[in-house]
């Protein structure tokens, strides 16, 4: 019995299934979480399938989170998807279930759970969810609504198919999803749209981005700047890719000041591997897309220096 067969065996065994994902979710985190839940609910209507974590208004079009009591975890199967490190799991009750499964496509630096399916070469966790469905499509159900969620996750994590993890298999998965007839154009338009506040912030980013001679770029978004544009941390997701549009930029860091005056760090690259740098600063992720933390402006400057040296 291989890993996928073991996962299906556990799904069939439990009547209560709770699906978690990482904090500060992106379209792939929500798309894979909700998409898997919808597949399981459509396939096993007698089971209670719940998705948990903080409700993110900007991604509520993909699905809403459930509120459940603590005793729901008793004798329940817990699946954590799209989360490399256990400290990043949203809703800390994930350890309270009877059995824990990890499904992910990030480097497996923090193995956790009773059963793991980690495939680093996959473009996204949404791609993995489709692969799981496709392996057992004689037993599982994929609706157009579910396909929409998984497609959004793939588009989000591949940067609209621009990133190196996009493979021929990724495109075959997308073709399989499109066969359900969901409105692909509507999804693309929704993912492409930004509010006026983010448009103004985009202009600010280009005006204030600092680019070193080697091609390392960075910008610090202070709380004062975010307040000016009436944005919170979550609202900055729409500008993460902007520095990469500049020809001379090879890798970049976006520092977002938090309420405690520490900084959330988003790291991106066109080539130099950055996830080892992220690990040095309480973070991690993919070789070309990672996240980290900086305790203060001194650590911000240290990361900028290390990024420059990396290039």
Model confidence, pTM? 0.90
Give the residue-averaged pLDDT of 98-107.
96
173-215 residue pLDDT tens: 999 999 999 999 999 999 999 889 999 999 999 999 999 999 9
Over the chain, what is the mean pLDDT?
95
Query: What percentage of the chain exceeds 90 in pLDDT?
Result: 87
Alpha carbon separation from 239 to 103, 199, 236, 289, 291 (Å, rounded): 28, 9, 6, 14, 15
pLDDT of residue 1: 87
Phi and psi dihedrals of 217, rounded to 5? -125, 155
Look at 12-21, 136-145, 226-235 and tell me which has the smallest mean pLDDT: 226-235
Predicted confidence band of residue 266 (pLDDT cuts 50, 70, 90) = very high
Residue with the two structure tokens 């983010």: 198
Average pLDDT over residues 55-84: 95
Residue 233: pLDDT over 80: no
- The pair of three-digit structure tokens given for residue 98, joined into one six-digit string: 């009877």
pLDDT of residue 238: 85
* DSSP state letters, 52-79: -S---GGGTTT-------GGGGTT-EEE
pLDDT tens digit sequence for 277-294: 999 999 888 889 999 999
């Amino acid at each position: 019995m291989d890993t996928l067969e073991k996962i299906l065996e556990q799904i069939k065994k439990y009547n209560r299934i709770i699906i978690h994902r990482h904090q500060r979710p992106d379209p792939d985190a929500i798309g894979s979480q909700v998409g898997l839940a919808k597949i399981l609910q459509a396939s096993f209507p007698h089971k209670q399938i719940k998705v948990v974590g903080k409700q993110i208004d900007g991604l509520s079009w993909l699905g809403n989170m459930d509120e459940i009591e603590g005793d729901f975890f008793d004798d329940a199967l817990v699946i954590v998807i799209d989360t490399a490190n256990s400290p990043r799991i949203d809703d800390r009750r994930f350890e309270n279930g009877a059995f824990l499964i990890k499904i992910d496509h990030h480097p497996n630096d923090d193995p956790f759970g009773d059963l793991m399916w980690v495939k680093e070469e996959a473009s996204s966790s949404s791609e993995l969810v489709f692969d799981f469905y496709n392996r057992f499509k004689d037993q599982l159900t994929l609706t157009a609504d579910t396909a929409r969620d998984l497609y959004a996750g793939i588009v989000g994590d591949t940067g609209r198919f621009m990133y190196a993890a996009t493979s021929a298999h990724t495109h075959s998965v997308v073709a399989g999803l499109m066969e359900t007839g969901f409105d692909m154009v509507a999804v693309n338009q929704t993912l492409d749209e930004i509010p006026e506040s983010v448009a103004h912030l985009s202009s600010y980013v280009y005006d204030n981005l600092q680019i070193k001679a080697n091609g390392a770029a960075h910008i610090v978004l202070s709380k004062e700047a975010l307040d000016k544009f009436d944005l919170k941390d979550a609202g900055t997701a729409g500008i993460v890719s902007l520095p990469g549009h500049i020809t001379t930029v090879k890798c970049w860091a976006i520092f977002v000041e938090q309420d405690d005056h520490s900084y959330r760090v988003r790291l991106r690259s066109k080539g130099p591997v950055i996830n080892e740098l992220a690990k040095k600063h309480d973070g991690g992720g993919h070789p070309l897309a990672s996240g980290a933390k900086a305790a203060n402006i001194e650590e911000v400057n240290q990361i900028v220096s290390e990024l420059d040296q990396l290039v």
